[in-house]
């Protein structure tokens, strides 16, 4: 099946016959999102395999044309279509569902006043707790996932139950009010929350309450009559003629625009009109990319006489907002309806909610500590991906039919099967939940290897034959299950090797400990080991308002960092504890191959570490009004101006090297940053041309310096102690 005119024609014909007023005529939506069904497979264009695999959502038909060659049915479905009787039955079923949708939509239109009330106040006898239905609609586990797309939320009264106002909305509104001749661009990845912010700005301009749903979705261009501001909801949905009109208005400064667009579409729009701005396409592309790539997530973009403020959500930390959304999902008023239901004692969802609510501060802290570790290591999840994952943690994708089946069969599943501490990883403690592997957050979490490393100093207390018997989780309702898993995990397996059941039990025990156990101050190393990040808790402490480096911590960190930099700059492995006869940092001419001993090297630059480097925590403001502290190496005296930001991955690497973990590899991106710092040191502290310095690595792993110079036609060699 090709996304071609014939397909669109068939779709439009059916749409016009069965759609309601609120349905949107988008042929590309089912074409792409049917890939979550088992019978529909998308075949990527050559060279687009990885990009299509990593694309969770699309915003327009242009992305279909760019990524997808065609869609195909699987063999089972094709055989069904070839059978006349089966094909007719399927056709009748589809028509029946379409007709039912039309009738339901017409009935809904007659009762619009009901939709003005929050969902939980509706009388719906078919649902014990409608909020569960809403949470499941945020996930892509099944076809009823319409709310996974942000645009559908604008008119949904349930959205206000979890909505958190984004600080950027008021900042954008302020920009539009302050700057009469500047336009605002909001860009980012699909799912970052651009549409939600556009709706918020629209409501602010119109004076509509934030928790009031819109009666209709935003048009592709919304003109605010009270002002000269126009909101362009999505550039990818507009025709070329519409963009030409907007371009003319931009050039003439006859209106101000708030433009929302994915990064690719935005770049394509500007580059395709490079001549209009009087620029070469390459130069214009460079300017737009620089504006979109600014580290703070905001930059000015000036093209001729037209000025823009560019905000890039992909560069803005979204974890604090995601945490507020999760807390709204767990609000007691969302779940009070469950307390008197006949299913509450057997409902895994309610058990999950109760467990989280009773330990909410601790559990939220641990969930978002894991997200933070991913974020600092370069794995940034969009707001849609975070919201989907958090909703899945609560419901496990279960609906009322599933719970009714459990009650009917009188099945009492093991608590851990549906608990968030397993579903965080997309499994029940033993087997992967196949549908959940579609959730991007779970796919990324599984790549992190959380829980693979053990913490021997702590876990000895759990698995030791005598000590382990006295170890308790501290959560009464889950103590018995914890002890059962601990006992199973302590079993020795069978003659053919370790028992898979014992292995799974040990994994679940570690998960329960990570999310639920109250660690004492001297036990928190377990959390660091679990997340494969020795410095994450210390980094988190630096984010507190009164955080600072004390003398001993500064000295220890400087020692470890100096050691790693000296290794990197000389290409020589230096064992921890080796005593240096000076405190100089050398940049040498070397092979950068650790397996080859390079005893003598030419020195390109040298600095006295104690007088040329200072380690500081520096406070950095972000555009949302928040702050974060980062550790910086600041150059002094001869190295003035040479600064290096020390991110969490680098600090983890430094600590790992200190403890002798030679297998640890520094991220490629940070190696590049170190090379830049090395170039700065080499330029600022280079050895004078009239002499050459060599350093020799002695057998005790200390350096010895020698100077070589030509004087009166003679070679002079001198040792420097």
pLDDT at 375 over 90: yes
Q: What does the alpha-carbon distance between residue 696 and residue 571 come to, in Å, rounded to a whole number?
A: 13
Instruction: Provide the residue range defining the domain that includes 634.
Output: 551-588+604-686
User: What's the pLDDT at 204?
Assistant: 93
Q: Is residue 120 part of a domain?
A: no
Q: Is residue 148 part of a domain?
A: no
- Does some domain include residue 338? yes
Count how many domains the chain has: 5
* Residue 622's pLDDT band (cuts 50, 70, 90): confident
Please tell me the predicted confidence (pLDDT) of residue 112: 34
CA-CA-CA-CA dihedral for 251, 254, 256, 259, to nearest 10: -50
Integer-rounded Cα radius of gyration of the chain: 30
Signed CA dihedral, 263, 280, 221, 170: sign only: positive
The mean predicted confidence, pLDDT, of the chain is 84
Region 286-308: mean pLDDT is 92
Residue 394 confidence (pLDDT) = 96
- Give the chain's end-to-end CA distance (angstroms, integer): 77
Same domain, 444 and 462: no
Average pLDDT over residues 224-251: 87
pLDDT surpasses 90 at 589: no
Residue 637 lies in a domain: yes
In a domain, residue 435? The reply is yes
Each residue of 633-689: pLDDT tens digit? 999 999 998 999 999 999 999 888 888 775 566 777 678 888 889 999 999 988 877
Domain boundary among 45, 75, 110: 110
**Residue 72 CA, distance from chain mean position:** 31
Q: Are residue 262 and residue 293 in the same domain, yes or no?
A: yes
Length of the chain: 721
Complete edge-to-edge strand list for the sheet that includes strand 714-720: 584-589, 600-608, 691-697, 703-711, 714-720
Say if CB 91 and CB 99 are below 8 A apart.
Answer: no
Residue 581 pLDDT more than 80? no
- Give dist(CA 464, CA 563) in Å, integer: 37
pLDDT at 95: 72
Residues 292 and 337 in one domain: no
Better-scored residue on pLDDT, 96 or 464: 464
Phi-psi region at 297: left, alpha or beta (left = phi > 0; alpha = psi -120 to 50)? left
């057997």: which residue's tokens? 346
188 and 380 in contact (C-beta within 8 Å)?
no
Same domain as 244, residue 102: no
Question: Of 137-151, 393-407, 468-482, which range is least confident?
Answer: 137-151
Model confidence over 387-429: pLDDT tens digits?
999 999 999 999 888 888 877 776 666 778 899 999 999 999 9
Secondary structure percentages of the chain, helix, strand, coil, to 5: 50, 15, 35
Print burial letters for 321-343: b (CB count within 10 Å at least 16), e (below 16): bbbebbeebbeeebbebbeeeeb
Least confident of 35-39, 473-477, 673-677: 35-39
Q: Note the pTM of the prediction, 2 decimals.
A: 0.79
- For residue 246, is pLDDT > 70? yes
CA atoms of 55 and 689, how far apart (whole Å)? 54
* Same domain for 389 and 417: yes
Whether 42 has a pLDDT exceeding 80, the answer reads yes
**Residue 189: which of 366, 377, 382 has the closest Cα?**
382
Q: Please, which pLDDT band fits residue 468 given cuts at 50, 70 and 90?
A: low
pLDDT at position 119? 35
What CA–CA distance (Å, rounded) separates 398 from 402? Answer: 6
Let me know if residue 651 belongs to a domain. yes
Mean pLDDT of the 690-709 span: 77
Say yes or no: 292 and 342 in one domain.
Answer: no
Domain finish residue from 423, 448, 473: 448
Is 704 within the bounds of a domain? no
More confident residue, 575 or 643: 643
Q: 171 and 209: one domain?
A: yes
Is 176 in the same domain as 290? yes
User: Do 508 and 476 share a structural domain?
Assistant: yes
Q: Is residue 134 part of a domain?
A: no
């Amino acid at each position: 099946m090709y996304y071609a005119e014939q397909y669109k024609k068939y779709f439009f014909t059916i749409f016009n016959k069965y759609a309601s007023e609120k349905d949107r005529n988008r042929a590309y939506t089912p074409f792409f999102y049917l890939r979550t069904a088992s019978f529909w497979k998308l075949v990527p264009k050559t060279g687009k395999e990885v990009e299509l695999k990593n694309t969770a959502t699309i915003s327009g038909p242009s992305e279909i044309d760019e990524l997808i060659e065609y869609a195909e049915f699987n063999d089972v479905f094709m055989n069904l279509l070839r059978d006349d009787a089966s094909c007719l039955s399927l056709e009748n079923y589809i028509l029946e569902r379409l007709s039912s949708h039309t009738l339901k939509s017409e009935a809904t239109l007659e009762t619009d006043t009901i939709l003005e009330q929050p969902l939980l106040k509706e009388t719906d006898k078919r649902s014990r707790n409608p909020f569960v239905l809403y949470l499941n609609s945020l996930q892509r586990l099944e076809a009823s996932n319409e709310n996974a797309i942000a645009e559908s939320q604008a008119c949904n009264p349930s959205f206000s139950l979890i909505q958190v106002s984004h600080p950027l909305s008021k900042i954008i509104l302020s920009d539009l009010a302050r700057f009469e001749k500047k336009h605002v661009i909001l860009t980012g990845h699909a799912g970052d929350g651009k549409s939600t912010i556009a709706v918020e700005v629209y409501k602010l301009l119109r004076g509509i309450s934030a928790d009031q749903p819109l009666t209709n979705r935003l048009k592709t261009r919304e003109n605010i009559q009270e002002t000269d501001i126009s909101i362009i909801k999505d550039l990818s949905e507009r025709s070329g003629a519409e963009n030409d009109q907007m371009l003319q208005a931009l050039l003439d400064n006859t209106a101000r625009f708030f433009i929302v667009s994915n990064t690719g579409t935005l770049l394509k729009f500007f580059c395709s009109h490079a001549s209009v701005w009087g620029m070469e396409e390459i130069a214009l592309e460079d300017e737009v990319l620089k504006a979109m790539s600014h580290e703070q997530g905001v930059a000015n973009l000036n093209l001729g006489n037209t000025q823009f403020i560019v905000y890039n959500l992909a560069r803005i930390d979204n974890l604090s907002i995601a945490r507020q959304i999760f807390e709204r999902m767990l609000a007691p008023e969302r779940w009070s309806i469950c307390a008197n239901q006949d299913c509450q004692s057997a409902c895994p969802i309610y058990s999950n909610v109760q467990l989280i609510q009773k330990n909410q501060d601790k559990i939220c802290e641990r969930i978002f500590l894991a997200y933070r570790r991913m974020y600092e290591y370069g794995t940034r999840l969009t707001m849609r991906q975070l919201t989907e994952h958090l909703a899945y943690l609560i419901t496990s994708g279960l609906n009322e039919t599933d719970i009714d089946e459990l009650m009917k069969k009188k099945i009492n599943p093991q608590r851990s099967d549906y608990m968030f501490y397993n579903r965080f990883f997309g499994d029940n403690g033993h087997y992967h939940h196949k549908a959940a592997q579609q959730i991007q957050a779970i796919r990324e979490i599984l790549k992190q290897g959380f829980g693979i490393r053990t913490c021997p100093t702590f876990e000895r207390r759990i698995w030791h034959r005598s000590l382990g018997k006295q170890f308790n989780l501290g959560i009464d309702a889950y103590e018995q299950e914890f002890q059962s898993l601990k006992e199973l995990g302590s079993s020795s397996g069978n003659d053919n090797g370790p028992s898979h059941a014992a292995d799974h039990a040990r994994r679940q025990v570690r998960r329960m400990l990570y999310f639920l156990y109250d660690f004492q101050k001297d036990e928190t190393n377990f959390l660091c080991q679990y997340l494969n990040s020795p410095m994450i808790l210390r980094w988190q402490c630096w984010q507190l308002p009164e955080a600072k480096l004390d003398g001993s911590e500064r000295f220890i960190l400087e020692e470890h960092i100096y050691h790693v930099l000296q290794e990197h700059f000389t290409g020589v492995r230096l064992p921890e504890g080796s005593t240096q006869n000076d405190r100089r940092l050398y940049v040498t001419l070397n092979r950068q191959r650790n397996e080859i001993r390079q005893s003598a090297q030419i020195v390109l630059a040298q600095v006295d570490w104690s007088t040329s480097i200072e380690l500081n925590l520096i406070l950095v403001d972000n555009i949302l009004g928040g702050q974060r502290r980062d550790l910086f190496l600041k150059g002094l005296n001869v190295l003035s101006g040479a600064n290096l930001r020390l991110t969490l991955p680098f600090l983890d690497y430094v600590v790992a090297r200190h403890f002798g973990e030679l297998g640890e590899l520094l991220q490629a991106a940070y190696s590049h940053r170190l090379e830049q710092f090395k170039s700065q040191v080499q330029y600022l502290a280079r050895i004078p041309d009239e002499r050459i310095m060599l350093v020799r690595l002695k057998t005790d792993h200390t350096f010895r310096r020698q100077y070589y110079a030509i004087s009166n036609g003679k070679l002079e060699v001198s040792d420097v102690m």
